[in-house]
Structure 1
Amino acid sequence: MGDLESSKIDHENHLLLDQPLISLPIELLRKNLRSARFEVEKDGSYVKETLKRTATESVSGRISPPDVIKTLDSMIARMRGVKRKLTAFSDEEKRLHQHEEARVKHLAELYDMYSIDDVKYEGWSRTRLDRLLTDYMLRQGYIDSARALAERRQMELLVDVDTFEQMNRIRQCILNGSVQEALTWCTAGDTKKELRKMDSNLEFMLRYQQYIEIVRNRSRINPGEALAHARKHLYPYISTYNKEVMHACGLLAMLPEHADRVEAYRELYSPARWQKLADLFTETHNSLLSLPSIPLLHIALSSGLSALKTPACHSIHPNSAAAPSHHTSLSLAASVCPICSTELNELARNVPHALHSKSHVEPELRLLPNGRVYGLARLEEYAKKAGLSEDKIKDLRTGEVYGADELKKVFIS
């Protein structure tokens, strides 16, 4: 009965890690819809205003018929451009719906399984592992490898290569010393409005870095350009980012070669700011699309390590993390705690211990002289199989033989 309970699949908890799989296409659909609405409203307002002005001027005779025709032609051309944009938005919507449908179908397959012993579960869990690996590679910038794995496993609809490819491209541009691509992303469609709702400072920090680079290269740039940039993009935020704006003003009087004298300006001219900007962009991008800030593989690995970890796994006892001795059979070696293994012991050191609400301790525990503890029934059964006399027992792991009178009872308090 216990084995059946332990192998039973808790579907809701099983899919906690897969929430971004469903939520990301929905967020992208929302973003696509908002962008389409923004384009329609922007160009629709322009056409309405132009049409109203042209009609008024035509009736009053302030514009000639040929000019009216030219204006109408320009409005028609603009609306054709809107039609092309809407066609692109429609194609993107269809693509996202295909992704969402494939993902719902993939997750629904789990609800047809009720035990991890089901033959279909191994294939399903393998696909999920491949998804986690792809997600990790995408976040680390290995786009080609991630795409190749997705194509090989035929799970292109279950991963978001295009989204992370765009993010990594913009991030790399920032690391290369360019903020223009990130600024274009911030102001595309109604993204600027969404960032304002999030109280994001990304756009301001990008404009701030833009200003720093203008001042840094003042010998090759018109000095008035720095002042114009500050008035347009920095001064409106003086109440929100007063410290940064004040430093921007002082930066005009601080040459880059003298910046080391003042810590605040040394930090502004530091190349490390590009790394901070890239990390800020990544954080903002993930927040906007409701993506976890760390790879899903890390979350799954941390959860798995924590579920298996006990205080004994990192005990100071010399035998707690020791490898099996030469006396240990292969079957016993395979049952050694994974957290105590050489590969995972250090990796699991900083994760929390497992929370066990039920005890799985064997009855009638006995302590051997070497410090190991086993259930009496298991010791007797193993000694019988080994052909020992009734007054002898054998350590299941090390193979050491002891007299039955050397065993001590163990009580859990």
Structure 2
Amino acid sequence: MEMESLPNGNSGGSDSGSATPVGSIAGLTPVASKLSHLAESLKLEHQFLRVPFEHLKKSMRANQRIVEKEMNAVMSSVVEAADRDLMSNEEAVQHLTSLVSRLQGLKRKLEEGSRTEHLQVQKCRVRFDHLDEVEVENSSEWNNTRLKRILVDYMLRLSYYDTAMRLAESSNIQDLVDIDVFLDAKKVIDALQNKEVTPALAWCAENRSRLKKSKSKFEFQLRLQEFVELVRAENNLRAITYARKYLAPWGATHMKELQRVMATLAFKSNTECATYKVLFEPKQWDYLVEQFKQEFCKLYGMTLEPLLNIHLQAGLSALKTPFCYEDDCTKEDPLSHESFRKLALPLPFSKQHHSKLVCYITKELMDTENPPLVLPNGYVYSTKALEQMAKKNDGKITCPRTGVVCNFTDLVKAFIS
């Protein structure tokens, strides 16, 4: 037999058809098993900590650039004044007033930047504290919060910003989600959907060093699209000037793409040649939007797929067996539903081992006729044994190995294929 889904590793069983009492090979107490499960869950929280940290680094770099730019300007102005031989009192006062005004402006910017950095540091601290709160006792509440975080992430990626913000506010998890980061990205996405590249180019300029390190082609693709739009408007002279200024520097690394787009000057926007016609199609803007989303996720250390998709795929893959797609698949199996089958279609089947599952109480084989039931403490026994126990004890079940008492209605069925 193959065990499709049993919690906490307390199901037992052995390979090659040998009979083993259920739960005998687990060797873990329920508490230890839950702690192990929580520890594994924390390994999935890389994005949770990485995003606010990257946002903080970006703010710090921006503030540093402002300081360097303003201080260089002030120092240049001071040196220029010192080099002048003659300066009237009036000019000197005016010059000093200008410098003071500039330094006061810098002070205001630094104060604002400091507040922003402080808020982002607070967000990092809140997230560390949230991860530190994981305990067996409150794991249900903690997992519920994580589910809401995953749903907010999914909504933000699909541009349901208002719904995401309402869920975050109603659940009081604003510091545990990345709404502010996605709202920054929204400005670029909206502009690209309106066929404007200026905000996207500004974003590339802000993150040029990071994009260069990852060998990103996004800025080049934006420049190509801007060139194509000039050709579409039949402004060829301006297009050639633009190409010399912005496209020529990319020639050493992207010559083929450059040659192809330059040929549009001869073929025009109404060409029927498939090679060049595709460059003028509106879907090119959709490609830019998708490319920006990928570059944005890479920059902040996010997964390219929404976290909800990743968790669903992992769960469905673990449940997926050939039996799930047969007509006599039990209706209690999640993959008996068409919607789940469709989601699981591209996923691999879970790795299964042939085992015989034997009830610890009755020593009888557990199969589809006598399926295993899972107690709240994670231990598993056959339906037949637990039904007999419930009849004798007014619906109460006592785990023969731990002494835990629960109601028969609290049991959960595990699926065997």
TM-score by length of 2: 0.76
Structure 2 CA distance for partners of 1:183 and 1:248, relative to 1, 3 Å:
same
1:6-405 equivalences in 2 (<5 Å): 6-56=33-83, 58-59=84-85, 61=86, 66-110=90-134, 112-113=135-136, 118=137, 120-188=138-206, 191-218=207-234, 221=235, 223-257=236-270, 259-260=271-272, 262-314=273-325, 316=326, 318-319=327-328, 321-323=329-331, 336-355=332-351, 361-362=357-358
8 Å contact kept, 1:362–1:374: no
Cα offset, 1:134, TM superposition: 0.5
2:19 alignment counterpart: none
Cα offset, 1:152, TM superposition: 0.5
RMSD: 3.1
Residue type at the aligned position of 2:246: H
Structure 2 CA distance for partners of 1:108 and 1:65, relative to 1, 3 Å:
same
Structure 2 CA distance for partners of 1:210 and 1:66, relative to 1, 3 Å:
farther
Long gaps (5+) in structure 2: 1-9, 11-22, 24-28, 373-380, 392-417
Cα distance in 2, alignment partners of residues 240 and 32 from structure 1: 31
Cα offset, 1:176, TM superposition: 1.6
Structure 2 CA distance for partners of 1:205 and 1:64, relative to 1, 3 Å:
farther
Q: Secondary structure at the match of 1:344?
A: helix
**11-20 or 31-40, which moves further after superposition?**
11-20
Cα distance in 1, alignment partners of residues 66 and 216 from structure 2: 23
Cα offset, 1:143, TM superposition: 0.3
Cα offset, 1:373, TM superposition: 6.2
1:331 alignment counterpart: none
Cα offset, 1:122, TM superposition: 1.8
For residues 336-389 of structure 1, what are the alpha-carbon distances to aligned partners after superposition, in whole Å with 9 as ceiling and x for unaligned?
Answer: 333334553332233233346895723787799xxx56589959759989x9xx
Q: Which has the higher contact order (CA 8 A, sep 6+)?
A: 2
8 Å contact kept, 1:137–1:143: yes
Cα distance in 2, alignment partners of residues 68 and 267 from structure 1: 62
Cα offset, 1:167, TM superposition: 1.1
Structure 2 CA distance for partners of 1:12 and 1:285, relative to 1, 3 Å:
same
Residue type at the aligned position of 1:256: S
Cα distance in 2, alignment partners of residues 10 and 382 from structure 1: 26
Identity among equivalent positions (%) equals: 30
Long gaps (5+) in structure 1: 324-335, 388-413
Cα distance in 2, alignment partners of residues 345 and 207 from structure 1: 43
Cα distance in 1, alignment partners of residues 383 and 314 from structure 2: 33
**79-88 or 196-205, which moves further after superposition?**
79-88
1:402 alignment counterpart: none
Cα offset, 1:309, TM superposition: 2.8
Structure 2 CA distance for partners of 1:72 and 1:226, relative to 1, 3 Å:
farther
8 Å contact kept, 2:319–2:335: yes
Q: Secondary structure at the match of 1:129?
A: helix
TM-score by length of 1: 0.76
Cα distance in 2, alignment partners of residues 27 and 144 from structure 1: 24
8 Å contact kept, 1:202–1:281: yes
Cα distance in 2, alignment partners of residues 255 and 162 from structure 1: 42
Q: Secondary structure at the match of 2:130?
A: helix
Cα offset, 1:264, TM superposition: 2.6
Query: How many correspondences in the alignment?
Result: 353
